[in-house]
Amino acid sequence: MSIESNNWEELRRQARQLENEIDLKLVSFSKLGTSYGSQEYRNENSDTVPLLSSTNSDHMFETMALEIEQLLSKLTDVNDKMISYCQTQAVTGSTVAHTLQRHRDILQDCTHEFQKTKANIQARKEREQLLSSVRKDIDAYKSSSGLNRRTDLYLKEHDHLRNSEKMVDDQISIAVKTKEELLNQRIAMKAIQTKMTTLVSILLIPTIHYFLF
């Protein structure tokens, strides 16, 4: 029995269209896997955000994976309809068999490529998440170390000020003691001078009295 051209060609047209769509999607999906997490790491507080951030990549990954899975499901359904059509119409021949085999091979290759790319992206995603966690730990450690260094500087400056104050207090104490010693020496000198004056007076009065009388 001959193949009804319209039905057969329509199924082949649908198959080719789906195969082309899947091929384009797989190219974009592969590019997503290559660029996933490749942006230079930036601080979360930065004003600039990478074009393909981790959140955007995750969303694009889930969306594209779902779209490709749906297209593969449709292509599988079309292939099944082509096989069923040939069986129903009792279609035989090397050309038909070759056409069916080629579409099955394309479906198998697309499915394999999709699964491989998806697995690679998943592995890269897990790697980037691990690296991001390590980077955050390093940044937290650096921040903590910087705070500790600033604290040490403040403590050293405080100790320096305390030592300076102690030196000033010591100098003031020395000055006060020196002043007290000078005052005591002055008092002692006055006392000696008074005694000398008194002694001189005692010694000179008899002599003056002798010469006068």
pLDDT value, residue 43? 43
Q: Which residues make Cβ contacts (< 8 Å) with residue 32, sequence separation at least 6?
A: 57, 60, 61, 64, 121
CATH number of the domain bearing residue 120:
1.20.58
Look at residue 105 and tell me if it is in a domain.
Answer: yes
pLDDT value, residue 25? 93
On whether both 46 and 110 belong to a single domain, the answer is yes
> What tens digit of pLDDT does each residue of 16-71 get?
999 999 999 999 988 887 776 554 444 444 444 444 455 677 788 889 999 999 99
> What tens digit of pLDDT does each residue of 72-128 get?
999 999 999 888 888 777 666 778 788 888 999 999 999 999 999 888 888 887 877
Per the document, the length of the chain is: 213
Q: Which token pair is 83?
A: 């096989």
On whether both 90 and 137 belong to a single domain, the answer is yes
Residue 105 sits at the vertex; the CA angle it makes with 104 and 110, to the nearest 5 degrees, is 100
> What tens digit of pLDDT does each residue of 145-199 get?
666 677 777 777 777 777 777 777 777 777 667 777 767 667 766 766 676 666 5
Boundary residue ending a domain (110, 144, 178)? 144
Look at residue 150 and tell me if it is in a domain.
Answer: no
With left for phi above 0 and alpha for psi between -120 and 50, is residue 37 left, alpha or beta? left
On whether both 136 and 191 belong to a single domain, the answer is no
Burial grade of 187 (CB within 10 A; 0-12, 13-18, 19 or more): exposed
Look at residue 151 and tell me if it is in a domain.
Answer: no
pLDDT value, residue 112? 93
For residue 1, what pLDDT band results from cuts at 50, 70 and 90? Answer: very low
Look at the pTM and tell me if it is higher than 0.75.
no
Total of domains in the chain: 2
Q: How far is CA 116 from the centre of its chain?
A: 30
On whether both 161 and 121 belong to a single domain, the answer is no
Poorest-confidence range of 7-11, 76-80, 129-133?
129-133
Alpha-carbon gap, residue 121 to 68, rounded angstroms: 15
pLDDT value, residue 128? 76
On whether both 66 and 102 belong to a single domain, the answer is yes
Q: Which token pair is 173?
A: 């104490």
Look at residue 69 and tell me if it is in a domain.
Answer: yes
For residue 204, what pLDDT band results from cuts at 50, 70 and 90? Answer: low
pLDDT value, residue 197? 67
pLDDT value, residue 22? 95
Look at residue 24 and tell me if it is in a domain.
Answer: yes
Domain interval for residue 194: 156-212
Residue 34: which of 104, 125, 101, 113 has the closest Cα? Answer: 125
pLDDT value, residue 151? 72
On whether both 116 and 170 belong to a single domain, the answer is no
pLDDT value, residue 4? 52
Q: How far is CA 146 from the centre of its chain?
A: 16
